[in-house]
Amino acid sequence: MARTFPLERCRNIGIIAHIDAGKTTTTERILFYTGKTYRLGSVDEGTTVTDWMVQERERGITIVSAAVTAEWKDYQINLIDTPGHIDFTAEVQRSLRVLDGGVVVFDATQGVEPQSETVWRQADRYNVPRICFINKMDRVGASYEYSIESIRTRLGANPIPMQIPIGAESNFSGVVDLLTMQAITWRDELGREPVYGEIPAELRDEAEERRAILVERIAELDDDLTVKFLEGEEITVEELKAALRRATLANKATPVFCGSSLKNKGVQPVLDAIIDYLPSPLDIPPVRGTDPNSGEEITRPASDDAPLSALVFKIVTDPYVGRLAYFRVYSGKVTSNTMVYNPGKGRKERIGRLLRMYADRREDVEEIPAGDIGAVLGLKESFTGDTLCDPQAPILLESIQFPEPVISVAIEPKTTADQDKMADALRKLSEEDPTFRVRTDENTGQTIISGMGELHLDVLVDRMLREFRVQANVGRPRVSYRETITREVPKVEYRYVKQTGGKGMYGHVVFSIEPVERGNGVQFESKVVGGAVPQEFVPAVQKGVMEAAESGVLAGYPVTDVKVTLIDGSYHEVDSNEMSFKMAAIFAFKEGIQRGSPVLLEPIMKVEVVVPEEYLGDVLGQLNARRGEIQGMEVRPGNAQAVRAMVPLAEMFGYATELRSATQGRGVFSMEFDHYAPVSATVAQKILNS
């Protein structure tokens, strides 16, 4: 089957934004103008297409990134939805991993907000080229200039304004395209038809000036154009576009557009810009991975003829059709009714029904070619981050990194009938979401769920009720502490020996255990030589370490940021087996942690509070009282001050209420996980006694 669109006419794009900047509204308009939805949805009425989950509709926030295919001017655009709320950070991470370019939406009255900053930095890390859309130009206080300035100063980016607005606030009526020097307005209320015309007289001088700056700035980005510019030669619109495209792809520049999605103005130029400036799968470097057999690094070109490599980036359990796995194909193609190989799990999987998602329907397809995104039903063993590849030419792509959950609650079924259903529901939900964890507390036997924030857990408990019909009592949210060691233990050993009549048990391991930098989790390495611990038992030793690390020695919190090296040991010809080595590893690990001067780590949140000037003193006082460290302050439009601080999560419970009453409801704050840090001895004592 021939592909419908050549690769250079494909775009995998994410719309990225701070909560409430207007991502959903913008996505809706895109789907409407690209002709795949039949009526315009509205976030406020809860009828949008991408927000298809009930909770999303009710809460008006986008939780799940669905991938939707649209068409614009003979290009295929796959829109990968990303959430704005940082509690759903796993969604952002996974979508950044598979998308090729981003449209970052800002609220023109706010400019860069904390979460847009976070996502921007993540996009930097993944080298995702971006364009910006300054939305809400119709709102009182909207400022194109301020927003662009904040992109420059807060994000350290190189924003290139491509338009100027016509009219402001409620009189905002269109934009001037500075490249073509045309005014763009919209004929009807729904903004279906852009009208290209003359620039209004009162804006002509400004537009001329701005265009001259634009040309100079684009020329600066390109050697050939720099020469032309300096020699005073005419530079064509096509040349400017081509140079800006190269600079955007190289992350040297970010074209900026403006509009009002709600008022249906400014969206089509953004669609044009997606085509003009954002990458096709051919513009990104060939995907890299390792050969699972030899460990050698290999790459695969974005071509239908290459062997298959694809990455599963999202699992959705649909109550009607079952488990749906979204994947991105990097090379080759995924064809229905074929076998693929999951090298991470060492398993083959059968590709059953293949689906492509449109805004208003699903379509069964025979194949999903290179560079494209699709969904498959019926995979059994493959989850988020897993590679699917050609069994004859295996490749293991790098998995997706997710942060550790920082908050947990105890949860118990309301009735015994709910017991099994709850376990099943929690399992399915944690399969979908790698930052959602379920464990049983060793001491109390309670089921503990953990996630990235209160909202994250609320939504999951809510889904359990609605989708799986499980009633549960939920405890108070608690901080997910961690345990780690503060000094190296060069040698710790354990000999696990049991003589029980018949066959005995014998396992003996010698470890060295050392603290490693934050964020590294538990690392394991074997350096045994000469078969002191036979190779076949090493995986069991590692398993023992990982299991033991699930609960530390201080208060049973997971152990993190340690490196365990297996340096020696011994075995018995008859009595040694996997279980005895695993047990030896568990005991050796626990003792090692005990001897390494263990400490508690607590999650520290990056907090930003924006308040009117007159409340600044109170807010600083509150943050200090909560063990907050003030990082900086900044003036914001409308006589407001933004305070940035690092505050332990444990101190942030109830902050929303306190801030509201201290500022008569005028203060707002946002927070997100930043890092884990050791707690002081006095605080640790309190935690251990609680």
Ligand X SMILES: Nc1nc2c(ncn2[C@@H]2O[C@H](COP(=O)(O)OP(=O)(O)OP(=O)(O)O)[C@@H](O)[C@H]2O)c(=O)[nH]1
Which residues 261-290 are close enough to bind ligand X by CB under 6 A? 261-263
In angstroms, rounded to a whole number, what is the distance separating the alpha carbons of residues 191 and 268? 9
What does the block give as tokens for 499?
């003589």
Q: Does the annotation list 35 as a binding residue?
A: no
| DSSP-assigned letters across all residues of 195-225 | EEEPPPHHHHHHHHHHHHHHHHHHHHT-HHH
Does 22 sit near ligand X (CB under 6 A)?
Answer: yes
| Residue closer to ligand X, measured from CB, 263 or 300 | 263
Among 7, 10, 40, 61, binds ligand X (CB under 6 A): 61
- Provide the CB-side half-sphere exposure for 144 (13 A, CA): 21
Does 20 sit near ligand X (CB under 6 A)?
Answer: yes
Instruction: Please count the residues of the chain.
Output: 690
Which residues 136-195 are close enough to bind ligand X by CB under 6 A? 136, 138-139
Closest to 560 measured CA to CA, from 399, 386, 345, 403: 403
Q: Does the annotation list 17 as a binding residue?
A: yes
What does the block give as tokens for 98?
């598979």
In angstroms, rounded to a whole number, what is the distance separating the alpha carbons of residues 469 and 563? 42
Instruction: Say which amino acid occupies 407.
Output: I
Among 12, 34, 62, 93, binds ligand X (CB under 6 A): 62
Closest to 407 measured CA to CA, from 51, 66, 89, 57: 89
CB of 25 to ligand X, least distance (A): 3
| Choices 3-11, 89-97, 257-265, 526-534; region in contact with ligand X by CB under 6 A | 257-265
Q: Does the annotation list 440 as a binding residue?
A: no
| Residue closer to ligand X, measured from CB, 174 or 332 | 174
Among 60, 286, 504, 539, binds ligand X (CB under 6 A): 60
| Residue closer to ligand X, measured from CB, 50 or 150 | 50
In angstroms, rounded to a whole number, what is the distance separating the alpha carbons of residues 199 and 211? 13
H or E element at residue 10: strand 10-17
| Residue closer to ligand X, measured from CB, 119 or 214 | 119
CA distances from 414 to 120, 129, 364, 428, 437 (A): 42, 49, 40, 19, 20
Among 7, 10, 16, 21, binds ligand X (CB under 6 A): 21
Q: Which residues contact 238 (CB under 8 A, 6 or more apart)?
A: none
Asked if residues 369 and 78 have their Cβ atoms less than 8 Å apart, the reply is: no
Q: Does the annotation list 22 as a binding residue?
A: yes
CA distances from 340 to 298, 321, 394, 539 (A): 18, 21, 10, 26
Q: Does the annotation list 592 as a binding residue?
A: no
What does the block give as tokens for 321?
């059709």
CB of 107 to ligand X, least distance (A): 8
Does 430 sit near ligand X (CB under 6 A)?
Answer: no
| Residue closer to ligand X, measured from CB, 260 or 551 | 260
The radius of gyration of the chain from alpha carbons, rounded to an integer in Å, stands at 28
CB of 300 to ligand X, least distance (A): 34
How many chain residues interact with ligand X (CB under 6 A)?
A: 23
Question: Between 83 and 102, how does the x/- string for binding to ligand X read (CB under 6 A)?
Answer: xx------------------
Which residues 25-54 are close enough to bind ligand X by CB under 6 A? 25, 43-44
| Residue closer to ligand X, measured from CB, 244 or 262 | 262
CB of 132 to ligand X, least distance (A): 14
Q: Detail the residues annotated as belonging to a binding site.
A: 17-24, 81-85, 135-138
Q: Detail the residues annotated as belonging to a binding site for GTP.
A: 17-24, 81-85, 135-138
Site residues, ligand X (CB under 6 A): 17, 19-25, 43-44, 60-62, 83-84, 135-136, 138-139, 260-263
